[in-house]
Structure 1
Amino acid sequence: MDAERYTGHVEPGGSTAVRVLDDAEVRKVSVGPMDNAAYLVTCRRSGAQVLVDAPADPDRLLALLREGSATARLDLVVVTHRHRDHLGALASVVAVTGAAVAAGADDADAVATASDHPVDRRLRHGDVLTVGHLRLDVVALRGHTPGSVALALTEPSGTAGPDAAPGRVHLFTGDSLFPGGVGNTDRDPQRFAQLLGDVTERVFARYGDDTWVYPGHGDDTTLGIERPALPAWAARGW
C-alpha cells in the first residue's frame, strides 16, 4: 500500500495499513473479536522487526511478518499491558519465530501467566529498546494496568522518505490513550488520576502536536487533535 494511503483505519481480517518512513515501516492489522490492533515496526536498513502486541490470530500475525521481511524475521514482541486480548497469540508467534518478549515490569508476571510464556525483559519508564537501527523509548503510562507501557519512535533528522518528518514521534499507546480519551480505569478515581497525569506529563508535555498515536483498538489519532480536549477529560473523570 502506498504510504500516502495510510489512514490508520483497518477492518478486522482486512488488508494491512502501511506507513513508509525514511528508516522504518509501520504496519497495522486488526485481529480478534475485540478488534485489537497489532503493529509491526520494521527497520528498513537491517530488516529487524518488533511486533507491538500479539492479540489473536497467529497465522495472520505470521503473515504480517512476511509482509515486513522476506525472512519473516521477528526480533522482539512488546506486550503493552497484561490484558488477555493483547497477548492471546503471543506464545504461538514466539514459538515459530524465537522472538524475545518484553513487557512493563509491573505487568510482566501477569503477562507470563496469561500467555504461559516467560517475559525476557521487564520494561521501566525511560528504558530504550534498540531494534536494528531503530530506537524505541519506553513510556510508562500507569492506570489502565499498573505496568502499561507505550513506545515512542522518533524520526531522525535528515529523513526524506515519502511520509517522513524529521523529529516527528510515532507513539504506540496500547490501551492507555485513544481518540477521545485515556484508557479504561473502571471509574476508579485514583487510577484515572494516575493515568491522566502520566499521559499529560509524559506524552502531551513532551511530544509535539504532529505526534502520531497508534492505539490498541480502532483508529489512529494525533496529539494535536486530542490536546484541546484534555481539560474536558479531566472534568468528566474517565
Structure 2
Amino acid sequence: MTDRVVLRRCVAGALETNTWVVRAPDSRDALLVDPGDDPERLAAEVQDLRIQGIVLTHAHWDHVLALPLLAELVDAPVLAHPAATEVWAHELEQARKQGHWDAGTATGELLPTGLLDLDPGRRLWDGRIDGELADGQELVVGGLVVRVVHTPGHTPDGVTLAMPGHLLTGDTLFPGGPGLTGWPLSDFDTIMTSVEHLLTAYDVAVGIHPGHGDSTTVGAEAPSLQAWRARGW
C-alpha cells in the first residue's frame, strides 16, 4: 500500500463543480469523484487512466449530470451511499416541478443565464448504484486506500473520501464553513456534527478539497468551528 496520492481537478458544469481524479503515483488505476457535467471532456481528461469507479460524494444534480454517459465512456461502476437514490429522486421531482435545477443561493442570479434550464432531450442518471458505500469502508485502487466517511447534513447521502494527507469533502465542508442547509433532506446540526468530526479527527496539515472552489486545510478551518455553530449556517 502507498501513502502518496495524486489528485487531478477538473472543473465542469453550471456551478463549476470540482470533479476529482484520485490515484497512486505509480498506478494508472484511479477513482473519479463527482462528475459534474461535460462527460466527453471528462472522459478525455482521464483517457490515460483506468477508472475503477465513479464515486459520488452526494447526489445533487450538479455532481451527477455527466454520470450516465461518462460511466459508459470510461466503463466504470457508480459508487454511492444508498441514500443517494432518495436524494436524486427529490432533485428530479423538484426540478420538474419548478422547471429548472436548484442552485441554492445562486438560483436567482443564474436563472436568467439559462444554465439551470432543464434540457428535455438530455439523458439523466437513472439513480442506479452499482456499489453502495458505507461509513468506514475502504476502497483500494492501485495500492491507494481511500476510506469512506459518512458525513450527512448537506444531504443524507453525503460522504467524505479520506486518504493520506487529503480529504475530498464534497459539499460538506468548504473554506469558511459547512455546506448549505435549510432545504428538505438537509440539517444544520447534522452537518456540524460531520464537520466537527472532520476537523478534529485529522491532522492540521491534511488538505480539504471541496466540491466547488478552492482547497484549504484542517488547521485553517478548525479554529472557526464554534463561530460557525453560533452563526447558524
- How would you bin the TM-score normalised by the shorter chain? 0.7 to 0.9
Structure 1 Cα separation of the partners of residues 3 and 174 of structure 2: 26
Aligned-pair distance for 1:108?
Answer: 3.7
Does the 8 Å contact 2:87/2:155 carry over to 1?
Answer: no
Aligned-pair distance for 1:216?
Answer: 0.3
Does the 8 Å contact 1:170/1:214 carry over to 2?
Answer: yes
Structure 1 Cα separation of the partners of residues 225 and 64 of structure 2: 30
Structure 1 Cα separation of the partners of residues 215 and 135 of structure 2: 23
**What TM-score does the superposition give when structure 1 sets the normalisation length?**
0.78
Structure 2 Cα separation of the partners of residues 110 and 187 of structure 1: 12
Structure 1 equivalent of residue 72 of structure 2: 95
When residues 187 and 115 of structure 1 are mapped into structure 2, their CA distance, relative to the original with a 3 A threshold, is closer
Aligned length: 198
Structure 2 equivalent of residue 61 of structure 1: 42
Does the 8 Å contact 1:40/1:64 carry over to 2?
Answer: no
Is it true that 1:197 corresponds to 2:193 in the alignment?
A: yes
Structure 2 unaligned residues grouped into runs of 5+: 93-123
Question: Which one has a larger percent helix, Structure 1 or Structure 2?
Answer: 2
Structure 2 Cα separation of the partners of residues 117 and 97 of structure 1: 18
1:173 alignment partner AA: T
Structure 2 Cα separation of the partners of residues 215 and 61 of structure 1: 18
Provide runs of 4+ in structure 1 moved above 6 Å: none
Structure 2 equivalent of residue 31 of structure 1: 12
* The one of 150, 154, 168 aligned to 1:140: 150
Structure 1 unaligned residues grouped into runs of 5+: 1-20, 155-168
Is it true that 1:183 corresponds to 2:179 in the alignment?
A: yes
Structure 2 Cα separation of the partners of residues 108 and 187 of structure 1: 17
When residues 117 and 107 of structure 1 are mapped into structure 2, their CA distance, relative to the original with a 3 A threshold, is closer
Does the 8 Å contact 1:23/1:45 carry over to 2?
Answer: no
Aligned-pair distance for 1:111?
Answer: 4.5
Does the 8 Å contact 1:103/1:111 carry over to 2?
Answer: no
Structure 2 equivalent of residue 45 of structure 1: 26
1:103 alignment partner AA: A
